């Protein structure tokens, strides 16, 4: 909870202005995929993040449509151009959640393969790691990559300890 609160504190920095170039290009990549039959934007970003954000933006659009905020996709696009705050906050909260999940994974690695004290200490260090906290404030690929690297490391350790097929599959 402390790690999540650190990642959510100040999450609206700079909004509605667009200060982080990566965030803008990720949003544009997600919108590109929506306009081009889910084809990812070529050579700019790995598609998993833009597809996840596209799903979230789609849910936001559908909820807005149900409540009469958006009549159609054009109104949705105009609302983004007028004030991109909500779209950016959706992506930033997603990054904060993935950052917090990384804390949990790192703690589980420390606990499972070393000791309970190691797990708590490693989770605390990850919770307060300045760069990870900072990057968890923004819709960038860094935190998502760290999350998947931590999961991969967890299963690699399981493979070396037990060698089960399901760990290879995961």
CA distance 79 to 72: 11
pLDDT in tens, 38-83: 888 877 778 888 899 999 999 999 999 999 999 999 999 999 999 9
105, 151 in Cβ contact below 8 A? Answer: yes
Identify the H or E element spanning 113.
Answer: helix 85-113
Determine the longest span between alpha carbons in the chain, in angstroms: 55
- The whole-model pTM stands at 0.89
Q: Where do the DSSP E strands lie in 34-150?
A: none
pLDDT over 90 at 126, yes or no: yes
pLDDT band at 147 (very low <50, low <70, confident <90, very high): very high
pLDDT over 80 at 132, yes or no: yes
């Amino acid at each position: 909870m402390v790690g999540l609160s650190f990642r959510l504190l100040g999450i609206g920095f700079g909004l509605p202005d667009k200060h982080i170039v990566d965030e803008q290009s990720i949003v544009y990549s997600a919108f590109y995929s929506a306009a081009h039959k889910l084809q990812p934007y070529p050579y700019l970003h790995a598609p998993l993040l833009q597809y996840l954000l596209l799903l979230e933006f789609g849910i936001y659009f559908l909820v807005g449509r149900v409540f009469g905020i958006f009549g159609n996709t054009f109104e949705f696009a105009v609302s983004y151009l007028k004030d991109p705050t909500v779209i950016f906050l959706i992506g930033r909260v997603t990054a904060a959640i993935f950052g917090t999940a990384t804390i949990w994974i790192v703690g589980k690695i420390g606990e499972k393969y070393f000791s309970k004290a190691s797990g708590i200490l490693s989770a605390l260090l990850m919770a307060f790691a300045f760069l990870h906290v900072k990057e968890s404030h923004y819709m960038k690929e860094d935190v998502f990559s760290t999350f998947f690297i931590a999961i991969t490391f967890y299963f690699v350790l399981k493979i070396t300890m037990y060698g089960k097929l399901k760990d290879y599959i995961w």
